[in-house]
Amino acid sequence: MTASSTPTRHPFPSTARLVERGKIVSAPEAVRLIRSGDTVATSGFVGIGFAEEVAIALEERFLEGKSDGSGDGQEPIADLTLVYAAGQGDGRAKGLNHLAHEGLIKRVIGGHWGLVPGLQKMAIGNLIEAYNLPQGVISQLFRDIAAHRPGQLSTVGLGTFVDPRNGGGRLNARTTEDLVRLMHIDGAEYLYYKTFPIDVAIVRGTTADLNGNVTMEKEALTLEALSIAMAARNSGGIVIAQVERLAESNTLNSRQVKIPGVMVDCVVLAQPDNHWQTFGEQYSAAFSSELRVAASSVPPMPLTERKIIARRAAFELMANSVVNLGIGMPEGIASVANEEQVIDLFTMTTEPGVIGGIPAGGLNFGAATNTQAIIDQPYQFDFYDGGGLDIAFLGLAQADREGNLNVSKFGPKLAGAGGFINISQAAKKVVFVGTFNAGKLDLAIEDGKLKIRREGDCRKFVDAVEHRTFSGRYAAERGQTVLYITERCVFELTENGLVLTEVAPGIDIERDIVAQMGFAPIMDTPPRLMDERIFRDPPMGLRAILLRLDLSERFSYDPEKNLFFINFEGHEVTSLSDVEAIRREVEKQLANAKTRPHAIVNYDNFSIRPEMLDAYSEMVTKLVSGHYDRVTRYTTSSFLRLKLGDALKRRGVAPYIYESPEEAREHESKRAAE
């Protein structure tokens, strides 16, 4: 059956049995509805939102049937197709590892394989058909299935191992069917991902009523549960929802219902041990946004290669940007940002739907505290794919001369791409971070210089990657900014390949870089030294760097309202040339003004050398008399209000400086009313 054909309703228990109990069934009763050959879709991210009790029951049903040939009198279950977007497991026995049995699973279409070693082993051993498709594509594909669209057109995956020209996401010789096709539309290349019906959806929530309405108030994420349920419902399949508590019919707040009961066939009340909020935390009120917590005081990272890499990467952060931090090495960037007190200048996000807040790590990865919003995973990838990410920091496992990256497959080890392809391909700027080589690397930082005591025994920069998770050529064609940051050097992607742009102090280019690579990087000009502050213990003063704007960007004139906005936030005046530059820029900006405007000046985080106060106040006095009708100033700094106010007062300029923009606006509103 195709996704667009008329669905045939999946067998379901008799109506008579459901009258008294509503849709409430035990986990063993729920999994009895699953038939051999069914396509089963599961929701979850690591352990968040994963229906552990249902997975355990499905495993037990298979093992019972295998041991006695009939189990509880039913036909043994076999040959399931498993579909999931994000990795769902703890790397050992939980999550989808329960289903890693030969005979139970025939095919897996997964976004990430690193957390499911049992399934990974079956794929590598050619025991199942195995596909790795981008996490975002799979999460969005559930919506396409629900809407009976024949497939999804996307540029995500072009040039990578998902591209049919590079394998189409197939992971072994047993996997032969093409799920991805290359298509040309109006001269542009796209990948076409085919849809297929979902027979069984296994999802999770917090509370369900007897009608099957499900809320998620204690869940850390909402993920793609609604999309999966809708896909199964519209495919004629069944929806099994695991929850931790029950409510009477019609008692749930309809605004909190995430999965409507009309889409749910079975509700399983889980045992507490099988319904942890994450695989690392039974329940955190901070993860569910039930409460906000004080940001813990995180001790600074020790000055090792990990901190060096994170520090250099942090220089690429931009104020007011939307950022994605990958797991592993990129997590260090958040630590550096916290130490440098810049974490408030940008918005961190993670692919399962977190916007803002502080992402968690380890088995809590995907959860976050103090978030601004939690949205469904398919919508997060809509945002990412459409260019919503300003910058992404992702791990660097293996790179080649064309700038291609591999993080998905290394010999017999199958990690899978997860959201890497979506994120790396769609971000305006992508920064890959990792050590220059792997293995037994040993280095020291002495007097602001890097010293290699022992090289790692595994090269990361090779002539050609074995599995292409990121296409350097495709990125270069689109003009994407791509950096590769290591502890000893920085490369930048160009149309001709990797250019060596920066080298750490103390590093010999030929001995420590070129000789340790599988190819020679481009060096049209001598690379510059990495900032020495990176290699010393004190904080780098990153906040001032990130808030630094070109002077012209700090001025904005609105002729209709006759307002002249001046943003001096984070600006520093240290010399007479700085003072003169401000005067010239104001005169340039107002050269065509027909009447003198009202100037509004933001002095937050503004700093001025004491010896420059007189020159600065004299310059302001001349601007006020020659160019402004009046001036409104504000800053939260009481010190600056006192010093600058006194300097202006001595020159006969209105000295009052408000404490906040709100106070300044209130004053101007009263003045306008008068």
- pLDDT of the residue at 276: 98
Over residues 399-406, the mean pLDDT reads 97
- pLDDT of the residue at 448: 92
Look at domain 18-143+198-272 and name its CATH class. alpha beta
Model confidence at 635, pLDDT cuts 50, 70, 90, reads confident
Pick 632 or 96 by higher pLDDT: 96
Over residues 109-113, the mean pLDDT reads 97
- pLDDT of the residue at 665: 63
- pLDDT of the residue at 6: 53
- pLDDT of the residue at 19: 43
Phi, psi (deg, nearest 5) at residue 361: -125, -175
Q: pLDDT above 90 covers what percent of the chain?
A: 73
CA distance 234 to 227: 11
Pick 647 or 261 by higher pLDDT: 261
Over residues 645-656, the mean pLDDT reads 65
Over residues 496-518, the mean pLDDT reads 96
User: Residue 4 above 50 pLDDT?
Assistant: no
Residue 137 structure tokens: 């594509």
CA distance 126 to 175: 8
Over residues 124-131, the mean pLDDT reads 97
Select the highest-mean-pLDDT range: 225-239, 297-311, 316-330, 530-544: 225-239
- pLDDT of the residue at 35: 97
User: Residue 541 above 60 pLDDT?
Assistant: yes
- pLDDT of the residue at 298: 64
CA distance 273 to 248: 24
- pLDDT of the residue at 672: 56
- pLDDT of the residue at 16: 37
User: Residue 457 above 70 pLDDT?
Assistant: yes
CA torsion through residues 299, 304, 309, 312, sign: positive
User: Residue 1 above 60 pLDDT?
Assistant: no
- pLDDT of the residue at 307: 96
User: Residue 14 above 60 pLDDT?
Assistant: no
Residue 509 structure tokens: 């280019």
Q: Mean pLDDT check: name the lowest of 406-410, 522-526, 542-546, 585-589.
A: 542-546
Over residues 313-336, the mean pLDDT reads 90
Residues 6+ apart with CB under 8 A from 200: 10, 33, 34, 38, 39, 40, 41, 232, 237, 238, 239, 240
Over residues 90-107, the mean pLDDT reads 97
Which residues participate in catalysis according to the annotation?
Answer: 351
Range(s) within the chain of domains with CATH label 3.40.1080.10: 18-143+198-272, 305-542
Q: Mean pLDDT check: name the lowest of 16-20, 59-63, 546-550.
A: 16-20
**Which residue type does 402 have?**
E
User: Residue 293 above 90 pLDDT?
Assistant: no
- pLDDT of the residue at 656: 62
User: Residue 47 above 60 pLDDT?
Assistant: yes
CA distance 364 to 353: 14
Model confidence at 550, pLDDT cuts 50, 70, 90, reads confident
Select the highest-mean-pLDDT range: 324-328, 401-405, 624-628: 401-405
User: Residue 640 above 70 pLDDT?
Assistant: no
Q: Please check whether the domain covering 305-542 is classified as CATH 3.90.1170.50.
A: no
Per the CATH hierarchy, to which homologous superfamily does domain 549-673 belong? STAS domain (3.30.750.24)
Give me the residue label for tokens 């599961």.
Answer: 42
What does the DSSP 8-state code read for residue 170? B
Give per-residue pLDDT as tens, 223-250.
999 999 999 999 999 999 999 999 999 9
Over residues 378-397, the mean pLDDT reads 96
User: What length is written for the chain?
Assistant: 674
Over residues 323-334, the mean pLDDT reads 89
CA distance 544 to 220: 35
Over residues 317-341, the mean pLDDT reads 89
User: Residue 18 above 60 pLDDT?
Assistant: no
User: Residue 252 above 50 pLDDT?
Assistant: yes
Give per-residue pLDDT as tens, 438-456.
989 999 999 999 999 999 9
What is the 3 state secondary structure string of 531-582? Answer: CHHHHCCCCCCHHHHHCCCCHHHHEEEECCCCEEEEECCCCEECCHHHHHHH
- pLDDT of the residue at 586: 93
Over residues 319-331, the mean pLDDT reads 89
- pLDDT of the residue at 275: 98
- pLDDT of the residue at 638: 67
User: Residue 325 above 60 pLDDT?
Assistant: yes
pTM to 2 decimal places? 0.81
Range(s) within the chain of domains with CATH label 3.30.750.24: 549-673
Over residues 459-482, the mean pLDDT reads 96
Give per-residue pLDDT as tens, 156-214.
999 999 999 999 999 999 999 999 999 999 999 999 999 999 999 999 999 999 999 99
- Asked if residues 188 and 220 have their Cβ atoms less than 8 Å apart, the reply is no
Mean pLDDT of the chain: 90
Phi, psi (deg, nearest 5) at residue 16: -60, -40
